[in-house]
Amino acid sequence: MNYPNKSKIEKTTFINYAHRGMTLESDINSSNKYYLDNDIAVIYKKPTPIKVVKVNYNNRINTKIVEAYYEVPSTTDYNGIYKGKYIDFEAKETKSKTAFNLNNIHKHQIVHLEKVLKHGGISFLIIRFTTINKTFLLFTEDFSNYIKDNDRKSIPLSYIEEKGYLLKDSYNPIIDYIKIIDNYIGDKNEKKI
Amino acid sequence: MNYPNKSKIEKTTFINYAHRGMTLESDINSSNKYYLDNDIAVIYKKPTPIKVVKVNYNNRINTKIVEAYYEVPSTTDYNGIYKGKYIDFEAKETKSKTAFNLNNIHKHQIVHLEKVLKHGGISFLIIRFTTINKTFLLFTEDFSNYIKDNDRKSIPLSYIEEKGYLLKDSYNPIIDYIKIIDNYIGDKNEKKI
pLDDT, tens only, A119-171: 999 999 999 999 999 999 999 999 999 988 887 789 999 999 999 999 998 88
Q: Which of B46, B69, B79 is facing A47, going by the closest CB pair?
A: B46
Query: Tens digits of per-residue pLDDT, B30-49?
Result: 999 999 999 999 999 999 99
**ipTM for the whole complex:** 0.85
- Condensed to tens digits (0 to 9), the pLDDT of residues B163-187 reads 999 999 888 899 999 999 999 998 8
Name the nearest CA neighbour of B73 among B100, B47, B111.
B47
Residue A110: pLDDT over 60: yes
List CB contacts (< 8 A) between B7 and chain A: none
Contact A75 B44 (CB under 8 A): yes
Residue of A nearest to B77 (CA): A46
Looking at the complex, does the CB of residue B66 fall below 8 Å from at least one CB of chain A?
yes
Buried/exposed A152-177: b ≥16 CB within 10 Å, e otherwise: eebbebebbeebbbebeeeeebbbbb
Q: Do A10 and B57 touch (CB under 8 A)?
A: yes
Closest by CA position to A41, among listed B85, B115, B109, B144: B115
> Across the interface, which of B47, B56, B59 has its CB nearest the CB of A47?
B47
Q: Does B69 sit within 8 Å of A12, measured CB to CB?
A: no
Name every residue whose Cβ is closer than 8 Å to that of residue A172 and which is 6 or more positions away in sequence: A30, A34
What would the pLDDT profile of A59-96 be if each residue is shown by its tens digit? 666 789 999 999 999 899 999 999 999 999 999 999 99
Of B4, B86, B120, the CB nearest to A56: B4
CA distances from B80 to A85, A119, A162, B35, B44 (A): 11, 10, 30, 11, 6
What CA–CA distance (Å, rounded) separates B103 from B65?
Answer: 31
What is the mean predicted confidence (pLDDT) over A34-40? Answer: 97
Bridge partners, residue A165, by sequence = A137
Question: Average pLDDT, whole number, for chain B?
Answer: 87
CA-wise closest residue to B56 among B67, B48, B72, B44? B67
Q: How far is B158 from chain A (nearest CA, A)?
A: 31
Q: Report pLDDT for A1.
A: 37
Q: Is A17 on the interface with B (CB under 8 A)?
A: no
Inter-residue contact A162 to A146 (CB < 8 Å): no
Contact state of B120 with A83 under an 8 Å Cβ cutoff: yes
**Contact status of A120 with chain B (Cβ, < 8 Å):** yes
- Kindly state the helix (H) or strand (E) to which residue A27 belongs, with its residue range: helix A24-37
Mean pLDDT of B78-96: 97
Instruction: Note whether B14 contacts A: Cβ–Cβ < 8 A.
Output: yes
pLDDT at A59: 67
Q: What is the pLDDT of residue A193?
A: 57
Mean pLDDT of chain A: 87
Residue A174 or residue A19, greater confidence: A174
Euclidean distance between the first and the last CA atom of chain A, given in angstroms as a whole number: 53
B135 vs A22, higher pLDDT? B135
Domains and CATH numbers, chain B: 24-192 (3.40.1350.10)
Report the pLDDT value the prediction gives residue A159, as an integer from 0 to 100: 96
How many other C-beta atoms lie within 10 A of the C-beta of residue B91? 23
pLDDT range class, residue A2, cuts 50, 70, 90? very low
